[in-house]
Amino acid sequence: MLVIATGQPMGANQQKLLIAAAVAFGILAICVVVGAWPRKVTPGVRPVDLIVWADEGDLPDTAARNLALHYEDAYEANKKQLDRLTHLHMVCLFMFALTIVILTARLIGV
């Protein structure tokens, strides 16, 4: 029989709970590192892009169209990044809650 705290024996179910809590916490730690990793997000059009479009000699309508297409591309790329981060955040919250529930179950002796 293993002992975790003084006078508190650890049975087979409690060992499984501790392993499950450790796995959930490990997944949480990995998700936090992945979520904190720097990502490229384009907030808008760079001034250099505007100058290049203005210097191409396009008509104002064509330049506005190109600018709108660039904004759409940046929006789609940013949306993908933010959607991934949102899903990762939800996984982190779930893993954190799961870790707390498992450790609580362990403490009450389930």
Q: Are 20 and 102 in contact (CB under 8 A)?
A: yes
Q: What is the pLDDT of residues 53-89, one digit of tens each?
A: 666 777 778 777 877 887 888 888 888 888 988 898 9
d(Cα 83, Cα 106) in Å, to the nearest integer? 35
Query: For tokens 């609580």, what's the residue?
Result: 104
- The answer to whether the pTM exceeds 0.75 is no
Q: Tell me how far the alpha carbon of residue 86 is from its chain's centroid.
A: 6
d(Cα 11, Cα 13) in Å, to the nearest integer? 6
Residue among 78, 97, 110, 81 nearest 28 (CA) = 97
Average pLDDT over residues 14-26: 85
Residue among 67, 42, 39 nearest 53 (CA) = 67
- Distance between start and end Cα atoms, the chain: 16
Asked whether the CA dihedral 8, 102, 16, 90 is positive or negative, the reply is negative
For residue 69, the model assigns a pLDDT of 82
